[in-house]
Amino acid sequence: MNKIEHIGIAVKSLNNASDTYERLLGISAYKEELVESESVKTSFFKIGENKIELLEATDPNSPIAKFINNRGEGIHHIAFDVDDIVLEMERLRKEGFTLLNEQPKKGADNKLVCFVHPKATHGVLIELCQEVRNE
Ligand code: ZN
């Protein structure tokens, strides 16, 4: 894994949270994106090498809605940048981690992503992400 690519924060209102983070960081979001497969709206802030991803559920059954119901707003996941997500998934499987998807899937911000179950990572949902090339 190369570096922390972004930190995902579950929020109730993307509008409110984007305003808060604009004032906090002193910059504007560089992108807002709807990810239909995950039933979320996201906005991204670039801060140095890293990014902050705000996530609002667009559906009461989305994982983000369930997270907020159970735990309230807050840090939802930490995403690590990888060069080859398929290789990295294979490595983590061999290490005994449970992956939440069998195949990489298309995530926000032009990434292929895979999630690692938080039960094996001391309560933190981990996302692997690989920049999509040739697009
Ligand atoms: Zn993410």
Using one digit for the tens of pLDDT, what is the confidence trace for 34-59?
A: 988 889 999 999 999 999 999 999 99
Q: How many angstroms is it from 8 CA to the middle of ligand 1?
A: 5
Q: Where do we find the tokens 């991204």?
A: 44
Convert the pLDDT of each residue in 54-81 to its tens digit. 999 999 999 999 999 999 999 999 999 9
Three-class SS state of 52 = strand
Q: State pTM to two decimals.
A: 0.92
Q: How many angstroms is it from 65 CA to the middle of ligand 1?
A: 15
Q: Is the pLDDT of residue 103 over 70?
A: yes
Q: How many angstroms is it from 94 CA to the middle of ligand 1?
A: 23
Q: Which helix (H) or strand (E) is 18 found in, with range?
A: helix 14-25
